[in-house]
Chains A and B, each alone.
Chain A
């Protein structure tokens, strides 16, 4: 039988030039793209010496769907459901960044009630995103029950989303100029019941995790990165706050009336995995506080801008008003035109600064939409974090980094 090409190549390899002794041997290990611990379709090329990570190269692009290109072919209001699908755990944030950018270009005023409703949904979304992170991270550390507990509370938030918008995920609730609909009757009561319960649940998570020897040993002091390096790489959000820098756009550059709420910014001290866990965990309490204040002080008034050139007229007007019918027709067919210009609108997403760059050329479709997704930038910090650490700590660090591959690849 003829010897195959592969066998020939295999036999031609000589190890004579390799250094003698096991200690010098480096192993290149491919992790992913289909691996449950990579939080999506992330591929890591790890160079290992024994169990110690020497270098790591993230390889992305497996779920690239060309969303930014798709946006250029759609009217502004049809872009919202597309951008929502980038970071699939923070859909309200994606919509907020895009709507905020378009509103800035249009110069449209968002009514106070709409701003408060946005804050309620953004913070609910932040809790939801952190719950998914907490559940899946605990899963990576070998704790399966946390996953069920976190998803139990997440269900309740998704039910609330379904109540206000009809959808559980990718709700398209935020519109340019406000929100789609006012919250329905019964939403407030259900939300209050959730807000009363959530801090207790959060205490229970802490009890489960923070008295667990395995979790503590895997998080305490593993893979820290100092503030200066994080800032050089462009890391924001809970990862930067875990290293002791209290940078939060909700406080620094308030948008959507965040300046009217009282809340604290949790910060860590050394920036190890434990701090990263603690900061996100503490943020859930703060989000609950913000939602309670927003619900308490929810102003009366319209939930979307009364400007008929941008927002659809109410349904009942269509039967009686010719003008409303024309506006409705124009908005649904062509959409609204946006004056030419460029804008970069940053907000504080659950993972860090989520910025939306929109360029308008004066037509009804954006000429360029770009999302500065925090996960994409943060992935660069993975190598400096894990170099010199153990491969088990790499898995824990990746979990604490909380990358969302839909946002990275877009």
Chain B
């Protein structure tokens, strides 16, 4: 992990390239986070990639409801030679949840981005095959959002299978 100073230096370097790219930084429990502008997230990721953070360890979504902007996409980057981790976080409102796809930079982002789309409804522009991955194709709604109720799913029995969406038409 870069320390708090190292994080600020990295943030400053990225701000020098584009003043609007980094909105904020956060250093908590030894974890360094760059809060990036979702419009410039690809530039930030590729700058970090050329600085050595070449491995995308994880990509996941998070719903910050009731805080705004609600949805977040988190990129956990790893530098394997210096054994250093840094997190890039981009937050966007739920009614305009669009962000550029990182598949061009990190090939392995394909499935995780599909999962984030599936669970949170974040649209990744430029993704080669953006479909639901874990939920059924005809599912409505984004189940990992915080305002999506638990237990709202009807259990299928023979008496109500006719009323189910999609499959039994």
Q: Which residues on A are within 8 Å of B, measured CB to CB?
A: 60-61, 64, 66, 68-70, 72-73, 104-105, 107, 229, 231-235, 247, 252-253, 341-344, 346, 353, 355, 357, 359, 367-368, 370, 372, 376-377, 379-380, 409-410
Q: Kindly state the separation between the CA atoms of A343 and B146 in the bound complex, as whole angstroms.
A: 19
- B132 surroundings in chain A (CB, below 8 A): 61
Whose C-beta in chain B lies nearest to the C-beta of A247?
A: B80
- A64 surroundings in chain B (CB, below 8 A): 134-135
Q: Kindly state the separation between the CA atoms of A132 and B55 in the bound complex, as whole angstroms.
A: 29
Can you sample 7 A-B contacts with CB below 8 Å?
A66-B143, A69-B143, A232-B108, A342-B62, A344-B87, A370-B62, A377-B108
Does any Cβ of A come within 8 Å of B76's Cβ?
yes
Q: What 6 A-B pairs are tightest by C-beta distance, nearest first?
A: A234-B108, A372-B58, A233-B108, A61-B134, A64-B134, A370-B60
Whose C-beta in chain A lies nearest to the C-beta of B26?
A: A342
Q: Supply 7 further A-B pairs (C-beta < 8 A) apart from A342-B33, A343-B31.
A: A61-B132, A64-B134, A233-B107, A342-B31, A342-B62, A346-B57, A368-B63
Q: Which of B23-39 contact A (CB under 8 A)?
A: 28-31, 33
> Which of B76, B135, B146, B150 makes the CB contact (< 8 A) with A355?
B76
- A70 surroundings in chain B (CB, below 8 A): 150
Question: What is the minimal beta-carbon distance from B118 to any residue of chain A, in angstroms?
Answer: 9
Question: What is the minimal beta-carbon distance from B166 to any residue of chain A, in angstroms?
Answer: 15
CB contact under 8 A between A234 and B55, given known A69-B143, A104-B29: yes
Whose C-beta in chain A lies nearest to the C-beta of B110?
A: A380
Number of A-B contacts (CB under 8 A): 97
Q: Kindly state the separation between the CA atoms of A368 and B132 in the bound complex, as whole angstroms.
A: 20
Task: Establish whether residues A410 and B57, one from each chain, have CB atoms under 8 Å apart when the complex forms.
Answer: no
Q: Kindly state the separation between the CA atoms of A341 and B33 in the bound complex, as whole angstroms.
A: 11
- B80 surroundings in chain A (CB, below 8 A): 231, 247, 252
Task: Establish whether residues B60 and A357, one from each chain, have CB atoms under 8 Å apart when the complex forms.
Answer: yes
Whose C-beta in chain A lies nearest to the C-beta of B116?
A: A370
- A357 surroundings in chain B (CB, below 8 A): 58, 60, 62, 74, 76
Q: Kindly state the separation between the CA atoms of A130 and B28 in the bound complex, as whole angstroms.
A: 36
